Amino acid sequence: MNVSYFPGCTLKNKARDLDRYARQCAQVLGITLEEVENWQCCGGVFTTAKDEVATKLSSVRLLQAAKAKEQPLVTVCSACHNVVKQTNHAMQIDGEFAAKVNRYMADDGEYDGSTQVYHYLELLRDVVGYDTLKDKVTNPLKGKKIAAYYGCLLLRPSSVMSMDDPENPTIMEDMIRALGATPVVYANRNECCGGYVSVESPALAKKNSLAVVEDAKAAGADMIITACPLCRYNLVKNGADIPVVYFTELLAEALGLKEDANE
């Protein structure tokens, strides 16, 4: 299956691992990620201000590019995914907003909200299927206790993301299980890491990040996985003393694609 793929800016810099492993794993799982040409930043944050159109245009261009190829659009960064899916939703339900946006779309053609947007995790669960994934695992991660960290952006707002229950999610835990490891469920797995507050109030971000790490450790985790570059940045920077890695890295390890654990 061929899909349009949007890595996003961070995955070209700080979060190269998230991107690299996502591509390698997709290949093994029979999915071809076709990177969208000439993509721009997703817009960074989805602002709910109705007259704020400019920051959403890049996302709409992306969605339009995937539509032109009649492919679903796959993202992997939590923040990008959030912006792209919310923009797509706004294009579907808000006629006034859609009309305004389409006035800027002369070069790319009008967009109607019809592109299917997947987070990479959804692709694994709904397209590949966890049973198939389990069969492809060559290096089962037996005995590893892994805490999935969702953060705040991946599942919320749940009516738009429509990916999983925001208070009691299972999508990453089920993946961990498929990879042969043991998921650790802990209360702070869907709380905010501190996000951009780390710029203005590092102490507050530290408090939030450490609450997540401590909670995961107390529940017995020896590793945390996440889909969000900012979450990983905050957790690591604020002194996480267990490994915090991207979920794609764990996936690569189980699929036998990870070259060297310490590279």
Partner 1 sequence: MQRIGVFVCWCGSNIAGTVDVKAVAEALKAEPGVVFSTDYQYMCSQAGQDMIKESVREHKLTGIVICSCSPRMHEATFRKTAAAAGLNPYMVEIANIREQCSWVHKEMPIGTEKAIILGKAAVAKVNLNTPLTPGESPVTKRALVIGGGIAGIQTALDIADAGFPVDIVEKKPTIGGKMAQLDKTFPTLDCAACILTPKMVDVAQHEKIRIFSYSEVSEVKGFVGNFDVTIKKHARYVKEDVCTGCGACVEKCPMKKVPNEFNLGMDNRPAIYIPFAQAVPKVATIDPNACNMLKNGKCGLCARVCTAGAIDYKQQDEYIQEKYGAIVVATGFNPISMDKFDEFAYNQSKDVITSLEFERLTNAAGPTAGKLLRPSDGKHPHTIVFVQCVGSRCDSCAQKGKEYCSKICCMYTAKHAMLTRDKYPDTEVYVFYIDVRTPGKSFDEFYRRAVEEYDVHYIKGMVGKVTPQGDKLKVQASDLLSNKQLHIDADLVVLAAAIEPDKSARPLATMLTASMDTNDFFTEAHPKLRPVESPTAGVFLSGTCQGPKDIPETVSQAGAAASKVIGLLAKDKLKGNPCVAHSNEQMCNGCSSCERVCPYGAITYEDKEFRMPDRTTAIRRVAAVNPAVCQGCGACTVACPSGAMDLRGFMNEQIMAEVDAICK
Residue numbers of the site for partner 1 (CB under 8 A)?
Answer: 159, 165, 167-168, 185-188, 191, 211, 214-215, 218
Q: Nearer Cβ to partner 1, position 68 or 219? A: 219
Residue-by-residue DSSP string for 48-93: --TT--GGGHHHHHHHHHHHHTT--EEE-SHHHHHHHHHHHHHHHH
Q: What is the nearest approach in angstroms of partner 1 to the Cβ of residue 187? A: 4
* Residue 33 and residue 44 in contact, taking contact as beta carbons nearer than 8 Å: no
Q: Nearer Cβ to partner 1, position 148 or 257? A: 148
**Residue 105: strand, helix, or coil:** coil
Question: Phi, psi (5° rounding) for residue 222?
Answer: -115, 10
Tokens of 79: 């923040």
Q: What is the nearest approach in angstroms of partner 1 to the Cβ of residue 185? A: 6
Cα dihedral value 118, 49, 9, 164, nearest 10: -30
Q: What is the nearest approach in angstroms of partner 1 to the Cβ of residue 168? A: 4
Q: What is the nearest approach in angstroms of partner 1 to the Cβ of residue 219? A: 8
Q: What is the nearest approach in angstroms of partner 1 to the Cβ of residue 32? A: 35
Residue 71, C-beta contacts closer than 8 angstroms, at least 6 positions apart: 2, 3, 4, 34
Work out the angle at residue 35's Cα, subtended by the Cα atoms of residues 122 and 166, and round it to the nearest 5 degrees: 25
Residue 259, C-beta contacts closer than 8 angstroms, at least 6 positions apart: none
User: Beta-carbon neighbour count of residue 183 at 10 Å?
Assistant: 20
Q: Nearer Cβ to partner 1, position 168 or 262? A: 168
Q: Nearer Cβ to partner 1, position 2 or 201? A: 201
Q: What is the nearest approach in angstroms of partner 1 to the Cβ of residue 191? A: 7
Tokens of 77: 């960064």
Q: Nearer Cβ to partner 1, position 41 or 187? A: 187
Q: Nearer Cβ to partner 1, position 34 or 191? A: 191
Q: Nearer Cβ to partner 1, position 73 or 231? A: 231
Place of tokens 């390890």: 253
Tokens of 150: 């969702």
Q: What is the nearest approach in angstroms of partner 1 to the Cβ of residue 158? A: 8
With 0-12 / 13-18 / 19 or more C-beta atoms within 10 angstroms meaning exposed / middle / buried, residue 82 is buried
